Structure 1
Amino acid sequence: MKKTLILGASTNPARYAYLVANKLVRKGYPIVNVGRKIGKVAGVEIEPMGTPHQDIDTITLYVGPQNQAPYFDYILNTHPKRVIFNPGTENPELLAKLEENGIEGVEACTLVMLNTGQY
């Protein structure tokens, strides 16, 4: 199963990052939650950005483009196979950096992808 890092994880049940974390876990995907606030989502602690994980298949992005720059190196050093830009997170600068490093950038909605079997 594709280990997924949720960047912008939230304990707020109204946030899409929260919904995605729970749906991924229900479908059997291992997750890593990375966010600014402490807490637990889908039974997994939210950790601060720190040492990049080395076993991530997908990063699903829930940080707006105006707040993404501090995460660029972290994302690139994690070496995921793909990064999903959820609606409102699209960023041509980050997409170009991903492509330069052989990482697929996908502009899509993770929830829709999970619901339609395209994940």
Structure 2
Amino acid sequence: MKKTLIIGATPDPSRYAYLAANKLVRFGHEIVNVGIKKGEVAGVQIEKPGDIHTDIDTVTLYVGTYNQPPLYDYILGTNPKRIIFNPGTENPELEAMAGKKGIETVEGCTLVMLSTGEF
């Protein structure tokens, strides 16, 4: 299964990041929750961006484009195989930076991708 880093994790059950975390776990994926909110989602504590995880397959973004620049080094430092830009997180600058490092970028919805088997 694909270890997935969720950027923008939140304990708020009305948010898509919360739904994605739970669905990822239900589908057997290990997750790492990173965000500014305290708490846990799907049984996994939310941590602040800090220590770089080096075993990440996929980063899925739930942080708006304007809040992403301070996270560029953190996201790219994990050296994931791909980054999923969920609706509202599309960012040509970060996509270009990822492409230069050989990281696949996908503009899509993690929830839909899981439901259709495209994840």
Q: CA deviation at 1:18?
A: 0.1
Aligned-residue offset at 1:40:
0.5
Paired residue secondary structure (1:93): helix
Over residues 76-119 of structure 1, what are the superposed CA-to-partner deviations in whole Å (9 max), with x where a residue is unaligned? Answer: 11000000000000000000000011101100000000000000
Percent of aligned pairs with the same amino acid = 68
- Tell me what 1:100 maps to: 100
User: TM (normalized to structure 2)?
Assistant: 0.99
Offset of residue 37 of structure 1: 1.1
In the alignment of these two chains, the number of paired residues is 119
Tell me the alpha carbon deviations over residues 21-52 of structure 1, each in whole angstroms, 9 at most, x when there is no partner. 00011111000000001100000000000011
- Deviating above 6 A after TM superposition, structure 1's stretches of 4 or more consecutive aligned residues are none
Per-residue deviation, 1:2: 0.3
Which runs of 5 or more structure 2 residues have no equivalent in the other structure?
A: none
Stretches of structure 1 that go unaligned for 5 or more consecutive residues are none
**Once superposed, what is the RMSD of the aligned Cα atoms?**
0.4
Q: Secondary structure at 2:90's aligned position in 1? A: coil
Correspondence for 1:46: 46
Query: Partners in 2 of 1:87 and 1:49 — Cα distance?
Result: 22
The CA distance in 1 between the partners of 2:62 and 2:117, in whole Å, is 21
The aligned residue for residue 66 of structure 1 is 66
